[in-house]
Chains A and B, each alone.
Chain A
């Protein structure tokens, strides 16, 4: 589109927006509502993803208890075998004496109770640090098949649940997003349709004097995009304040316990605005092109 016709477009489009201000307001609200819900889902997903990441980092170790009476060579042998498995980042040996010391520390002032033990009942163990949590079950089954292993302990259920929940939330969120975007596009296309219908004579004449389709679309396209972007900005503002409020509330309530995992307002709002403006203008453009199709076919 050339600059000359751009002036024409802007003029026409604002005239129309004002002429149909009720419908314009309705469209803006619908986009804003859609994006608001979308934004809430987005914020939730982003935060849950961040939390699961943290959780995964905490649960990414596997403890392997070894049988009593293994020779040092056998223990070392097992260590190297484990290290070679795929997905293993590091293998750390924890001797039974060290384990007892650690337990004493954990028990704190009750640690003296352990002094009464005649022999150390704790086994030698290896702590395996996982590279990638998705290899966890493969590693566990592999190790369990080795000789000289007493028990393999790892937070399988916790990890699997976390993976499952994030997956479900992502899918449901995505589905809701798609439905909402479709609804908004439809509403915007209806608004534009009213503007188009009011000007169908003009469009018809434009076609006869040789206006290109893009020339005719221009003002309507701009109109749709403006509606979409305005809706997006309203939704982004609402999300900003709502998130800021809940973030502070959670901070006050739980101190650093959960809030450490939350993403800060400034970080998330940039993504939200970017995402909203793109989706908003996309909805607007799509809606106006859809509503014009019938009238351009002359």
Chain B
């Protein structure tokens, strides 16, 4: 699904000669200290920044050659969850999720059908009329996950989704991500959370100074600092 080999620099080399292959349906942790290049890696997948050299292939498509106008199409294939949730404060839970569908110019009837469905997947069926500020952090993150998967993307990228949550809530979120992964969605999660990585026993890709230093299945976080 993804075959990466790229160097990226603008004075700073954030990612250098990284080679990765993530298969369809994988659940992958991307770990590493701050500034290791995790975020740059994610940004390259979303074509927020371009690789200086090399190729980034998503869904059999070389996105380094993708035309600017085709970027929205790419982003609809990739759901994104952020550490800070990025929900719209003046919209209800329902509206926040429906918004992601409105953008794809979906039929109102489909929106009315899909939003409650996704809300029940993330377990917030009874909170659809509430505003983000009325929800706990964990609930807000569930909303943002619901928004990320509403359009059924084949790939879900989570950039430190548990960064702002307590351990118990984090585990809940991880359960949800795993559940989404089981439905066939590729999940790529960047994280600092050692406990969670060790608990999940999934493929772990460790990045340091823009290079892949370790890539193992059922791995541990693995920094003995």
List A residues at the B interface (Cβ < 8 Å): 2, 4-5, 8, 201-202, 204-213, 215, 298
CB neighbours (8 Å) of B106 from chain A are 4
Question: B103 near A210 (CB under 8 angstroms)?
Answer: yes
Question: A206 near B107 (CB under 8 angstroms)?
Answer: no
List B residues at the A interface (Cβ < 8 Å): 46, 48, 69, 72-77, 80, 86, 88, 99-100, 102-108, 147-148, 151
Partner of A205, one of B72, B86, B104: B86
Distance from B205 Cβ to chain A, minimum over Cβ atoms (Å): 23
CB neighbours (8 Å) of B73 from chain A are 210
Given contacts A210-B103, A213-B69, A213-B72, list 17 more A-B pairs with CB under 8 A.
A4-B105, A5-B102, A8-B102, A201-B86, A204-B86, A205-B88, A206-B99, A207-B75, A208-B46, A208-B75, A209-B80, A209-B151, A210-B73, A210-B75, A210-B76, A211-B72, A211-B103
Distance from B157 Cβ to chain A, minimum over Cβ atoms (Å): 10
CB neighbours (8 Å) of A212 from chain B are 69, 72
Partner of A209, one of B75, B105, B108: B75
From known contacts A2-B105, A4-B105, infer whether A210 and B88 are also in contact, taking CB-CB under 8 Å: no
CB neighbours (8 Å) of A8 from chain B are 102
Question: B74 near A210 (CB under 8 angstroms)?
Answer: yes
Partner of B105, one of A5, A208, A213: A5
CA distance A209 to B104 in the complex (A): 9
From known contacts A2-B105, A201-B86, infer whether A209 and B48 are also in contact, taking CB-CB under 8 Å: no
- Across the interface, name the chain B residue whose C-beta is closest to A8: B102
- Across the interface, name the chain B residue whose C-beta is closest to A212: B72
Count A-B contacts at CB 8 Å: 49
- What is the predominant secondary structure among interface residues of chain B facing chain A? helix
CB neighbours (8 Å) of B147 from chain A are 209
- Across the interface, name the chain A residue whose C-beta is closest to B82: A208
CA distance A269 to B102 in the complex (A): 42
From known contacts A202-B88, A208-B80, infer whether A298 and B48 are also in contact, taking CB-CB under 8 Å: yes
CB neighbours (8 Å) of B100 from chain A are 209
Question: A210 near B104 (CB under 8 angstroms)?
Answer: yes
CA distance A243 to B132 in the complex (A): 56
- Across the interface, name the chain A residue whose C-beta is closest to B79: A209
CB neighbours (8 Å) of B103 from chain A are 206, 209-211, 215
Show 20 A/B contacts (Cβ-Cβ < 8 Å), sorted by A. Answer: A5-B102, A201-B86, A201-B88, A202-B88, A205-B86, A205-B99, A206-B99, A206-B103, A207-B75, A208-B75, A209-B75, A209-B76, A209-B80, A209-B147, A210-B75, A212-B69, A212-B72, A213-B72, A215-B103, A298-B48
CB neighbours (8 Å) of A201 from chain B are 86, 88
CB neighbours (8 Å) of A204 from chain B are 86
CB neighbours (8 Å) of A210 from chain B are 72-77, 103-104, 151
- Across the interface, name the chain A residue whose C-beta is closest to B76: A210
Distance from A46 Cβ to chain B, minimum over Cβ atoms (Å): 43
CB neighbours (8 Å) of A4 from chain B are 105-108
CA distance A2 to B148 in the complex (A): 24
Distance from A198 Cβ to chain B, minimum over Cβ atoms (Å): 10
- Across the interface, name the chain A residue whose C-beta is closest to B43: A298
CB neighbours (8 Å) of A208 from chain B are 46, 75, 80, 86
**B73, B77, B88: most-surrounded residue (chain A CB, <10 A):** B88
- Across the interface, name the chain A residue whose C-beta is closest to B48: A298
- Across the interface, name the chain B residue whose C-beta is closest to A202: B88
CB neighbours (8 Å) of B148 from chain A are 209
CA distance A129 to B214 in the complex (A): 97
CA distance A208 to B96 in the complex (A): 13
Distance from A215 Cβ to chain B, minimum over Cβ atoms (Å): 6
Distance from A220 Cβ to chain B, minimum over Cβ atoms (Å): 15
CB neighbours (8 Å) of A211 from chain B are 72, 103
- Across the interface, name the chain A residue whose C-beta is closest to B46: A208
- Across the interface, name the chain A residue whose C-beta is closest to B88: A202
- Across the interface, name the chain A residue whose C-beta is closest to B148: A209
- Across the interface, name the chain B residue whose C-beta is closest to A4: B105
Per CB-CB distance, the 9 closest pairs between chain A and chain B, nearest first, are A210-B75, A210-B76, A211-B103, A209-B100, A210-B72, A212-B72, A4-B105, A208-B80, A5-B105
